[in-house]
Amino acid sequence: MPDIIQLLPGPVADQIAAGEVIQRPASVVKELLENSIDAGSERVSLIVKDAGKTLIQVVDNGSGMSEVDGRMCFERHATSKIRTADDLFSIQTKGFRGEAMASIAAIAHVEMRSRTEDLELGTEIVIEGSKVQKQEPCSCAVGTNISIRNLFFNVPARRKFLKSDPVEMRHIIEEFTRVAMAHPAISFEMAHNGNDLFDLPIAKLKQRILHISGRKFEQRLVPVEEKTDIATVSGFVGKPEFARKTRGEQYFFVNERFIKSAYLNHAVSTAFQGLLPSDLFPSYYLFISLPPTDIDINIHPTKTEIKFSEERNIYAIVRSAVKHSLGQFNIAPSLDFEQETAFNVPLVKKGASIAPPIRVDFDPSSFLAAGTRTQVKSEDWKELHAITQEAKHFDIGPPLQSEQRVSPDWSEERPNSALSTYQLHNKYILAHLRSGFTIVDQRRAHERILFEELMASLKGHKIASQQLLFPTEVSLGRSEIVLLQSMEKDLELLGVQIGAFNEDHVVVQGLPPQAEESGAEDLICGLLEAEKNSADELGTVRQEKLAARMAKSMAIPMGKKLGTEEMNDIIDRLFACDMPYYTASGKPTVITFSLEELDKRFDR
């Protein structure tokens, strides 16, 4: 049998290796910016065209490279950062593997000009698909000017799977802001298709954050500072009242390197425990400094994941630092002792009267007829309570085909009586059926109704927008604003009108008639979160997620008292839906009880 294993040709091996490091244009941006920082630059400019598909250019005033170094930087595993394996555990620079430039050169057209301060002339190198086309002396400024054109030109399959320009641009802005935020002592500029997006001067950390996220964040930030023998934690966290439904403003940096860590994110979330509801996320910009020997950054090609030698201690330090900061600024109680619940008496203002809260969950007028008071036994209420409690334990499963009979026959089964519906605890609607009764979750039912209406609008039936008397400003980060701009057509179909896109906020001028004017910010943030989670999905799936999130934001809240007409309207509209029994996320909207089930409970 002949030998079948052979070495891959160099260009093929380079393209395969490039796939691990260069996943999209944003990967190129990250590697080039980090190289400029390693070169000691004080000023870095990023120029992008067509979301990086046509051009990515980085210009810096760093140390530059000689003729030999300029050529060697494109060789795989050629690096100035390490000499021995032990150096991997004392890395102070961003790059060290010697893979990035070789990977970029394997899948793009590269042109680089670079000069060191001690030379009068620099060197110019042109590479296409790993092949050096030209290298010659040139006149250029001190530093490096590198242009990456036609990314993935020789790997059409990879280029085909790139997303739309707005999506790719969002990833580029994310990489740019991560690098720029970690290095406030360096000025950064960014332009896309001739439009200036960022101009970040040298500043302190807080000013850099405000330049990126917007001036309105100044009153929202609480400083964090904690020094221990193991590590130092510094930076800022957002005040709880400014928490949002998106995770956009969450940054961890370890030794000035952006990282992703669900473990440390949990530490921050724990510090905010009791201050935020589960559907809101705090913002934070946290910098962790510790000896390089205590971390391993060589576990992932993109270097965004690291390992700590003392992971549990770092978790405790981060949690303690955030909790202490919140307590120090009177945002959270600094004492965390467990106490008897009997002593949890709320504070009252001087002179205010103290009275126990009284809650009324029913309308007494429902029990008055012809001026005579109807006597209701407590046992009757207990039985009704038992029935509703039992409903929680029913596994109704997916809708059966036979259940669909409820929809067309609904109007026949509902009595023509003003008391045919009843609101229970301002959460559920109880309604009579000819064969029993049904319990409708009022919020989920309204959510389903809105979802189907919004899906219809996305298919071309535009929802009328209601103009706001006073346009609302919503503060957003630059990447979120770019993403929102890419959603503008869908927003118009959904009845959301954005009047202006500014550097750090947008102006909402119109909302769907069902939306509350005060909820404009929550609505916008919810749509952004849905878009972030579905940007890579197919068109229909993406639209469904947008509609589902918007319906959830606009649905009537639990605890809202409804009149009889409102309850009947919800029921009629619900059972006119294509799928009335579940929300878009698959949660049940209706639970039905037959007379047979009730008879069994009463042993009849």
Alpha-helical regions (H) of 392-519: 410-413, 442-458, 478-486, 488-493
Q: Is residue 495 part of a domain?
A: yes
Q: Is residue 308 part of a domain?
A: yes
Sign of CA dihedral 516, 517, 522, 527: positive
pLDDT at residue 97, rounded to an integer = 53
pLDDT at residue 381, rounded to an integer = 44
The pair of structure tokens assigned to 219 is 């009153």
Q: Is residue 400 part of a domain?
A: yes
Q: Is residue 50 part of a domain?
A: yes
Tell me, what amino acid is at 41? S
pLDDT at residue 483, rounded to an integer = 80
pLDDT at residue 172, rounded to an integer = 93
Q: What is the pTM of this model?
A: 0.69
Domain CATH code at residue 113: 3.30.565.10
Q: Using 50, 70 and 90 to split pLDDT, how confident is the model at 442? A: very high
Q: Check if the beta carbon of residue 38 is closer than 8 Å to that of residue 183.
A: no
pLDDT digits (tens, 9 = 90+) for 526-551: 788 777 766 555 557 777 888 888 88
Q: Are residues 45 and 167 in the same domain?
A: yes
Range with the poorest average pLDDT among 168-177, 250-259, 327-336, 379-388: 379-388
Q: Are residues 95 and 34 in the same domain?
A: yes
Residue 477 CB contacts under 8 Å (≥ 6 apart), including other chains = 177, 212, 213, 214, 248, 249, 504
Boundary of a domain, candidates 165, 180, 200:
200
Domain CATH code at residue 324: 3.30.230.10
Q: Are residues 295 and 418 in the same domain?
A: no
Contacts 24+ apart (CB under 8 A), 81-85: 81/38
Q: Using 50, 70 and 90 to split pLDDT, how confident is the model at 467? A: confident
- What region does 156 belong to: left with phi over 0, alpha with psi -120 to 50, or beta? alpha
Q: Are residues 178 and 49 in the same domain?
A: yes
Tell me, what amino acid is at 427? K
Q: Is residue 34 part of a domain?
A: yes
Q: Are residues 35 and 181 in the same domain?
A: yes
pLDDT at residue 48, rounded to an integer = 96
Q: For residue 435, how many C-alpha atoms fall within 13 Å in the half-sphere facing its CB?
A: 10
pLDDT at residue 92, rounded to an integer = 61
The total number of structural domains in the chain stands at 3
Angle, helices 165-182/25-38, rounded to nearest 10 degrees: 20
Q: Are residues 147 and 243 in the same domain?
A: no
Q: Is residue 23 part of a domain?
A: yes
Q: Is residue 497 part of a domain?
A: yes
pLDDT digits (tens, 9 = 90+) for 207-234: 999 888 877 788 889 999 999 999 999 9
Q: Are residues 308 and 414 in the same domain?
A: no
Domain that holds residue 405: 377-604
Domain CATH code at residue 594: 3.30.1540.20
In this structure, what are the phi and psi dihedrals at residue 409, rounded to the nearest 5 degrees?
-95, 5
In this structure, what are the phi and psi dihedrals at residue 112, rounded to the nearest 5 degrees?
-130, 135
The pLDDT mean for the chain works out to 79
Residue with tokens 């919810």: 526
- 121-133 mean pLDDT: 92
pLDDT digits (tens, 9 = 90+) for 248-294: 689 999 999 899 888 999 999 999 988 888 778 889 999 999 988 88
Q: Is residue 456 part of a domain?
A: yes
pLDDT at residue 408, rounded to an integer = 37
Q: Check if the beta carbon of residue 554 is closer than 8 Å to that of residue 514.
A: yes
Boundary of a domain, candidates 304, 328, 352:
328
pLDDT digits (tens, 9 = 90+) for 571-600: 888 988 988 989 988 899 999 888 888 888
Q: Are residues 271 and 195 in the same domain?
A: no
Range with the poorest average pLDDT among 130-144, 286-300, 320-334, 533-547: 533-547
pLDDT digits (tens, 9 = 90+) for 447-465: 999 998 888 887 776 677 7
- What region does 380 belong to: left with phi over 0, alpha with psi -120 to 50, or beta? alpha
Boundary of a domain, candidates 138, 170, 200:
200
pLDDT at residue 337, rounded to an integer = 40
Q: Are residues 535 and 386 in the same domain?
A: yes
pLDDT at residue 148, rounded to an integer = 95
Q: Check if the beta carbon of residue 425 is closer than 8 Å to that of residue 361.
A: yes
Q: Is 554 helix (H, G, I), strand (E, B) or coil?
A: helix
Q: Are residues 273 and 394 in the same domain?
A: no
Hey, how many other C-beta atoms are within 10 angstroms of the C-beta on 140?
Answer: 17
Q: Are residues 260 and 172 in the same domain?
A: no
> Does position 1 have pLDDT exceeding 70, yes or no?
no
Q: Are residues 128 and 215 in the same domain?
A: no
